[in-house]
Chain A
């Protein structure tokens, strides 16, 4: 009886996932693997090898990889500082950190556009100070910048989470056995935080790889990522078949990084959000 009730509670979610996850997924595969006349074809998927598509995929991979690495390098020390602070103090720090995430994603990125523009806030200030202005907007730098800004909290939180869970006695034990601070970090802290790192990498890399908003707003129309190409196939060219075919390719990369995170983070320790 109770069991039945619990099952009933999951019904809304089941309807939701059927209607908005499973059916769209089937549709993506249907469109991706057929042509306009409805015949089965691999041409849409294979079109990734066209230079223009392939280039956008490589750029997307490259930029999201760079963003992920920079996010990791920025986040790890920050997460360590947060984890070493006593509770209470660090709550405020984390709040400050998470606060921008409560604002709309588009709004935040638009704000960066205003800041980075050739006649934008930063350059206006630089001009007033008689310093050389920067040409960042509509370059890959601006896109990487936007990715890092938007996705940094997704790297910090899982790493912070695993670092908090590391028993201080383990670090004491390492020191006790003769390891100095660097050795303690490399042999104990770092390996124990791998689940958080992997989780953070997935949570930054996957959205960065698929984004088209950041590249649209901060990269102008000059730099096309694979996300932009797919978006244009759906919106401008109305070619759902090609868009879906390329989506399938992109999905492969996402699945690969998901599997990697599942392998490294068996206990779900790194899942922060």
Chain B
């Protein structure tokens, strides 16, 4: 892997005695698409603002390319931000908006003109130089905001929920656009979102945050398939999180029934949380299932049916392309590989446990 470009060391930040970030440690590699993902108030935007230089952490250091930039003002940092509400200068036309950073750096007119052309082409808005920001749609404004940031050739682009204000279709288009841009530009993207689908689609690495702590860092596949705790499992996609007993290696008792699994090393007869994704549950004839239950809800979702099955006192969420009507007795079968075991938090407080790399 390429070297670390940004390192956050023991970053803490609180507002009015409310702790937003607690001793956070994180590094971001060069040319990586990193997404900070979490519910509102988890500290993801604060983290981004600290990297961008709009907030100063109470404790800890921000290392950028080997230099401590904790106290460096925003305008001296070699990174640019795309703001949630675009933040285009309404008193300037598109060309002037894009040229803003370059004019400050006293670049020549021909250089600036070339850069404007290049940037507009990159975001598919050629010929928009003389338009005013107000006359553009939300998606177009967001692309101009991206163009305005990238002409400065930053080493890192910070994106603060840039697609939050766009409608669904546009958001999906922009996701592909962002991936394409990142690949063409070859720079590091740090992306903040609360939308898990967005995070899974675009990221090389996802940092799941909650209540000021990093819950898990990993590739989208790792985060989805092997969530390290109940919060991550619950936040990323739908899941069944069930209180279970880890009997011994490769055997777990879920709701009184014994399931084979592939995990080892959780001890013997230990209380654990088990995560099973709804699409990993196989509904079969009652006699073939590990446990049996009855379908209580059925919704058609297009790609699949969403069903709820009451079995051994737990409402199992099931996604399947096969339909079982409400009231039908079914058996539940799960492939050992699809049973994800997680340690239980030892106390309420530890539910937001910090995961060290």
Contacts and interface: CB of A to CB of B under 8 A. Distances in A.
Interface in A169-223: 169-170, 172-180, 183-184, 187-188, 191-192
B97 to A, nearest CB: 9
B81 A176 contact: yes
Contacts of A192: 90-91
Contact of A183 (B74, B83, B104): B104
A176 B104 contact: no
B54 A187 contact: no
Nearest to A190: B91
Interface string B122-146: 0000000000000000000000000
B152 interface: yes
A173 B87 contact: yes
Given A188-B89, A192-B90, A172 B100 contact: no
Contacts of A180: 73, 75
Nearest to B81: A176
B105 interface: yes
Contact of A169 (B73, B83, B104, B152): B83
Chain B interface: which size bin? 20 to 34
A180 B81 CA distance: 16
A172 B149 CA distance: 13
A172 B88 CA distance: 11
18 contacts: A167-B87, A172-B81, A172-B87, A173-B81, A175-B73, A175-B74, A176-B52, A176-B53, A176-B54, A176-B74, A176-B75, A176-B149, A177-B104, A178-B152, A179-B75, A179-B100, A180-B73, A184-B75
A187 B53 CA distance: 20
Interface string B144-165: 0000110010000000000000
Interface string B188-220: 000000000000000000000000000000000
A253 B260 CA distance: 91
Interface in B63-93: 73-76, 80-81, 83-85, 87-91
B74 A172 contact: yes
B101 interface: yes
Contact of B101 (A167, A177, A188): A177
Interface string B36-60: 0000000000000000111000000
Contacts, number: 61
Nearest to A188: B89
Interface string B103-132: 011000000000000000000000000000
Interface in A70-116: none
Interface in A11-27: none
Contact of B80 (A177, A184, A188, A191): A177
Nearest to A172: B54
B87 A170 contact: yes
A178 B152 CA distance: 9
Contact of A178 (B84, B91, B101): B101
B87 A169 contact: yes
Contact of A177 (B54, B84, B90, B152): B152
A175 B52 CA distance: 10
A179 B89 contact: no
A191 B52 CA distance: 25
B189 to A, nearest CB: 15
Which 9 A-B pairs have CB atoms at the shortest separation, nearest pair first?
Answer: A177-B101, A169-B87, A173-B87, A175-B74, A178-B104, A176-B81, A175-B75, A191-B91, A169-B83
B83 A174 contact: no
B106 to A, nearest CB: 10
B75 A178 contact: yes
A177 B74 CA distance: 8
B42 to A, nearest CB: 20
Nearest to A177: B101
B91 A177 contact: no
A173 B85 CA distance: 11
A187 to B, nearest CB: 7
A141 to B, nearest CB: 38
A175 B54 CA distance: 9
Contacts of A178: 75-76, 101, 104-105, 152
